[in-house]
């Protein structure tokens, strides 16, 4: 019995430490915006219960917040998101999928579960990062644990899923599938992702 009690205390201590770590890491140092496509109630992005319904709405708020915050996190609950137009990443904004919708820390996500799909609906690019030499997109922009699917490009047939021009975002644990570019001439390439004038920090 003493052994079991000791193990229980040890387990509770680890849980408490994880909760404290999450609070310190993400409350003290980052503003987090929540997205849940199933939310039909009040939406201000402040917590899961009042999450924005679209990633687009979260990015709009992030663009304002990042002017005063060191960086901003966008957490997206599992599901398929059809934004109606391409999304554009932002420096110092970290977009993360793979959440069940109750986490208080990204470490609580279960790898391989809670697929978060950003879809182009076979009509448009999913992510379109077009920047300039003077103001490029850097590796401070993060896309993590999402699936880029059903992206499409025909007007400039490159990068159906993601197009990066003078953009070097950090992409981790992402899946690109079923993205296409119009196949009408030899300049059509990079169905999943296309990079031009992009750089690596390595």
Distance, CA of 94 to chain centre? 6
Q: Which two tokens stand for residue 168?
A: 């070097």
Q: Quick check: 26 pLDDT over 50? A: no
Contact 87, 133 (CB under 8 A): no
User: What are residue 176's phi and psi, to 5 degrees?
Assistant: -115, 125
Distance, CA of 41 to chain centre? 22
Instruction: Please give the Cα distance from 36 to 75 (Å, whole number).
Output: 9
Q: Quick check: 16 pLDDT over 80? A: no
- Identify the DSSP state of 52: B
pTM for the model stands at 0.84
Q: What is the pLDDT of residues 160-199, one digit of tens each?
A: 999 999 999 999 999 999 999 886 665 667 788 999 887 7
Give the mean pLDDT of the chain: 86
pLDDT of residue 186: 59
Closest among 187, 192, 196, 194 to 152, alpha carbons compared? 192
């Amino acid at each position: 019995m003493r052994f079991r009690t000791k193990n229980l205390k040890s387990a509770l201590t680890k849980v408490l430490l994880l909760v404290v770590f999450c609070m310190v890491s993400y409350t003290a140092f980052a503003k987090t915006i929540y997205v849940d496509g199933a939310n039909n109630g009040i939406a201000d992005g402040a917590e899961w219960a009042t999450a924005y319904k679209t990633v687009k709405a979260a990015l709009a708020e992030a663009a304002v917040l990042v002017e005063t915050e060191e960086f901003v996190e966008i957490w997206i609950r599992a599901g398929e998101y059809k934004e109606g137009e391409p999304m554009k990443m932002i420096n110092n904004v970290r977009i993360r999928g793979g959440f069940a919708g109750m986490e208080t820390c990204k470490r609580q996500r279960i790898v391989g579960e809670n697929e978060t799909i950003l879809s182009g609906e076979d009509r448009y690019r999913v992510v379109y990062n077009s920047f300039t030499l003077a103001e490029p997109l850097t590796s401070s922009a993060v896309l993590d644990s999402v699936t880029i699917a059903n992206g499409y490009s025909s007007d400039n047939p490159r990068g159906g899923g993601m197009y990066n021009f003078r953009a070097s975002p950090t992409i981790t644990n992402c899946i690109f599938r079923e993205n296409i570019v119009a196949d009408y001439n030899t300049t059509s390439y990079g169905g999943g992702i296309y990079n031009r004038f992009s750089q690596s920090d390595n």
